[in-house]
């Protein structure tokens, strides 16, 4: 797996950097390997070889060789971890880029969907309007045709009556040939009836042709509508609105069929009327003889008939004009229908283009989702390997690590004429790890895992501790405690300055990192539950700082042994510590924990001494219990983070304590002395370690002698007058750094519903 770095330089495989050979205990990396890894990329084989490598030494008792070998090995591991961190950053950047691309594509698809929906609604409205106009025109046309047919029938009857009257008058005027004229008039009437029958047949034929034309137009419109609806249905198969439109189309088709049936019925009626006319013709032949008697009556009514004929003629002209206007209107509607069909074709083309573009966007989204899933899988793989490397490094560095922090000189320290008593060696093997202290002209040198100078910020201090805090989320028990004399800056290191966000201490920063990391692990399937408890050990008495009923009178009764809860420390077989009756709070955000920290800070015991205006008179213990479950891998972890601010170590002669302060100082010194005895016993690997000599050491037993990852931050004051106390603190820290306790064990068992928080 050889790739290219983000800055453009070519990466080389780790084995190539080391001369093409596997790294052995004696092969040292380049001098800048710990600071730059942009030119190196590790393969899985290199990482496995690095993790499985075991140091081989000629002399197992040569501690210097062992230290140099482990230092070189740790440098290579740091180089590997830094490369993995860069790789993880690139994966996160690629993942964010892919997510942005997916969001942009989804927005474009949504916009195209909205545009498509608007086009569809516009087409539906146009089709509905065309259907309404077509139905209204057809209804008007049918009504006008009925009126025209009625008028034509009445006009035909009047004309026939007039002809009959004229023929009767002519036959009566010629009395000589009355019989011949009557016969001739009867023959003429029969001929006229035949002509009328022919005209009716022609009219019926024309009506049938017009009806067939209407059916053809209707079928054409129906076919166009069906074609449009079928094309729309093929374009938007997943839209349920087309079913309603299809039902409307079927209803319109049924209406057209009903109209056709009505026209067929009308033709049948006309045929019945024709038969009736034929019957009338026969009946008229029988009535020819009676027409003579009615001549007078017809003569009188002839004038009235002429008047009615004129009226009917005018009505006929009006009907013809109305028919002409309706024909023009039908022609206009046909033109509109053609325009609508052209628009529909154009919309079909645009819809087809939109659909093609939509399919392309959909394909792009699927490709992006595949790439995103790939990146997430690689990220999870890298995260697992990072955890493995991280825990390997912490195990190699030792379970109890010691950092030393020197606070800057303050304005309250006053001027000094003795000069500086603390210096820092510049040799390469001790740079950043060594500290020298001068007392009464004698120089004392110490070496720790890390030494922080006075100008180091809170953020820089936390950067070296953040990896240890991460182990709590990985399922390990972690303990970080601050040790030092009164006024050396322990509380500032752990809590910081509440009024300044830049000066936050280890506890607030650890909580921010834990909750932020929990949020980033959610996409990988991890879900965490967290519980918090806070207590202090004051005069060898445990106090619950989160108790809702805590008051000064309760504390006084507890100290005097009158009432109050009895907090008992117990250890189980798994190395977990339980404190009975202790208040435990479920937390979900860093703000909730900050509120609890403020509440505990107000309840903590502080007092004034000659060495500090606000001296902590008790040992403060903050515990965060973490329970995590991965839903995808069904992996379960349990971690514990203990953050402890010890009370200041000081001499009675220097603190000037009296009364209650004297009692507090004696209790603090006794507990710290017990802590020193425990460290001495662990350093000498004695069979008996006096953990039960004080509440503090018994509470910290899993951290000091168990399977916990422990870090002590020893705080030093640079004042020359505090050189003696500083020397005692450095010597104690050096003994702690020499202790070798058990190997940390990851907690993967399930948490019981009634389990209490652990301190180990």
Residue ranges of the annotated binding site are 484-491
Closest of 265, 259, 190, 255 to residue 225, by C-alpha? 255
Torsion on CA atoms 415, 419, 422, 424, rounded to nearest 10: 120
- Report yes or no: 600 and 535 within 8 Å, Cβ to Cβ: no
Q: DSSP class of residue 504?
A: B
Distance, in Å, from the CA atom of 685 to the CA atom of 251, rounded to the nearest integer, reads 97
Residue 136 burial (10 A CB sphere; 0-12, 13-18, 19+): exposed
Please give the structure tokens belonging to residue 506: 């280890």
Largest Cα span, the chain: 179
Query: How crowded is residue 486: how many other Cβ atoms within 10 Å of its Cβ?
Result: 24
Nearest to residue 653, comparing CAs of 619, 617, 609, 616? 609
Distance (Å) of CA 685 to CA 287, 402, 410, 483, 705: 149, 19, 41, 23, 11
CA distances from 79 to 28, 184, 248, 467 (A): 12, 132, 73, 15
Closest CA to 555 of 569, 546, 543: 543
Packing angle of the helix pair 506-521, 590-603 (nearest 10 deg): 160
How far apart CA 727 and CA 716 sit, in angstroms, is 9
Distance CA 647, CA 676 (A): 14
b/e burial code for range 691-722 (CB count within 10 A of at least 16 → b): bebbbbbbbbbbbbbbbbbbbbbbbbbbbbeb
- Residue 416 token pair: 């000094």
**Judging by DSSP bridges, how do beta strands 434-439 and 422-423 pair with one another?**
antiparallel
What residues are designated binding site for ATP? 484-491
Q: For residue 491, what are the CA distances in angstroms to 478, 501, 704?
A: 19, 16, 21
Contact yes or no for 644/676 (Cβ under 8 A):
no
Burial 77-109 (b: 16+ CB within 10 A, else e): bbbbbbbbeebbebbeebbeebeebbeebeeeb
* Distance separating alpha carbons of residues 107 and 111, to the nearest angstrom: 6
Cβ atoms of 301 and 157 closer than 8 Å:
no
């Amino acid at each position: 797996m050889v790739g290219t770095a983000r800055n453009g330089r070519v990466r080389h495989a780790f084995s190539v950097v080391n001369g093409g050979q596997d790294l052995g205990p004696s092969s040292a990396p380049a001098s800048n390997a710990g600071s730059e890894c942009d030119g190196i990329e590790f393969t899985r084989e290199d990482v496995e070889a690095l993790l499985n490598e075991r140091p081989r030494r000629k002399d197992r008792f040569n501690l210097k060789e062992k230290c140099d070998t482990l230092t070189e090995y740790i440098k290579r591991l740091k180089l590997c971890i830094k490369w993995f961190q860069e790789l993880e950053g690139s994966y996160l950047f690629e993942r964010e880029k892919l997510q942005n691309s997916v969001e942009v594509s989804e927005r474009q698809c949504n916009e195209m969907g909205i545009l498509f929906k608007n086009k569809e609604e516009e087409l539906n409205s146009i089709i509905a309007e065309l259907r309404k106009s077509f139905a209204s025109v057809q209804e008007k046309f049918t009504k006008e045709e009925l009126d025209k047919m009625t008028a034509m029938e009445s006009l035909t009857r009047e004309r026939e009556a007039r002809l009959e009257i004229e023929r009767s008058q002519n036959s009566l005027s010629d009395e000589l040939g009355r019989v011949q004229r009557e016969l001739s008039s009867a023959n003429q009437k029969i001929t006229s009836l035949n002509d009328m029958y022919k005209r009716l047949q022609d009219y019926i034929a024309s009506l049938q042709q017009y009806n067939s034309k209407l059916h053809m137009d209707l079928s054409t419109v129906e076919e166009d509508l069906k074609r449009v609806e079928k094309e729309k249905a093929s374009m938007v198969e997943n839209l349920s609105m087309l079913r309603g439109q299809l039902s409307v189309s079927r209803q319109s088709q049924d209406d057209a069929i009903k109209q056709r049936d009505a026209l067929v019925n009308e033709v049948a009626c006309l045929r019945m009327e024709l038969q009736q006319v034929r019957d009338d013709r026969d009946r008229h032949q029988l009535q020819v003889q009676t027409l003579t008697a009615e001549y007078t009556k017809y003569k009188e009514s002839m004038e009235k008939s002429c008047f009615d004929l004129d009226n009917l003629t005018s009505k006929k002209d009006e009907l013809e004009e109305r028919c002409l206007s309706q024909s023009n209107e039908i022609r206009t509607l046909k033109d509109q229908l053609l325009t609508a069909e052209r628009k529909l074709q154009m919309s079909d083309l645009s819809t087809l283009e939109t659909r093609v573009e939509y399919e392309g966007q959909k394909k792009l989204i699927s490709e992006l989702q595949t790439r995103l899933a790939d990146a997430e899988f690689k990220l999870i793989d890298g995260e697992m390997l990072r955890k493995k490397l991280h825990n390997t490094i912490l195990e190699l560095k030792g379970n109890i690590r010691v950092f030393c922090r020197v606070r800057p000189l303050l304005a309250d320290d006053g001027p000094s004429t003795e000069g500086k008593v603390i210096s820092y060696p510049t040799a390469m093997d001790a740079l950043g790890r060594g500290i020298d202290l001068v007392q009464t002209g004698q120089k004392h040198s110490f070496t720790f895992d890390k030494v922080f100078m006075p100008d180091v910020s809170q953020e820089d201090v936390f950067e070296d501790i953040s990896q240890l805090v991460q182990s709590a989320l990985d399922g390990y028990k972690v303990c970080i405690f601050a040790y030092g004399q009164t006024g050396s800056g322990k509380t500032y290191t752990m809590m910081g300055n509440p009024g300044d966000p830049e000066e936050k201490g280890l506890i607030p920063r650890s909580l921010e990192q834990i909750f932020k990391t929990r949020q980033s692990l959610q996409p990988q399937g991890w879900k965490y539950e967290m519980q918090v408890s806070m207590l202090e050990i004051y005069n060898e008495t445990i106090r619950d700082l989160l108790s809702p009923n805590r008051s000064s009178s309760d504390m006084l009764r507890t100290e005097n042994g009158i009432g109050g809860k009895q907090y008992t420390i117990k250890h189980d077989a798994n190395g977990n510590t339980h404190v009975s009756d202790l208040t435990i709070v479920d937390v979900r955000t860093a703000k909730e924990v900050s509120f609890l920290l403020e509440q505990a800070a107000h309840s903590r015991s502080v007092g004034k001494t000659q060495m500090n205006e606000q001296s902590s008179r008790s040992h403060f213990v903050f515990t965060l219990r973490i329970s995590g479950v991965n839903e995808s891998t069904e992996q379960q972890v349990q971690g514990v983070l203990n953050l402890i601010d010890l009370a200041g170590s000081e001499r009675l002669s220097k603190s000037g304590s009296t009364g209650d302060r004297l009692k507090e100082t004696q209790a603090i010194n006794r507990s710290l002395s017990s802590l020193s005895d425990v460290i001495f016993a662990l350093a000498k690997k004695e069979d008996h370690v006096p953990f039960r000599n004080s509440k503090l050491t018994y509470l910290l037993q899993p951290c000091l002698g168990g399977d916990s990852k422990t870090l002590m931050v020893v705080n030093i004051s640079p004042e020359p007058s505090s050189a003696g106390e500083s020397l005692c603190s450095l010597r104690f820290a050096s003994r702690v750094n020499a202790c070798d306790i058990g190997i940390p064990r990851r907690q993967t068992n399930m948490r019981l519903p009634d389990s209490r928080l652990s301190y180990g």
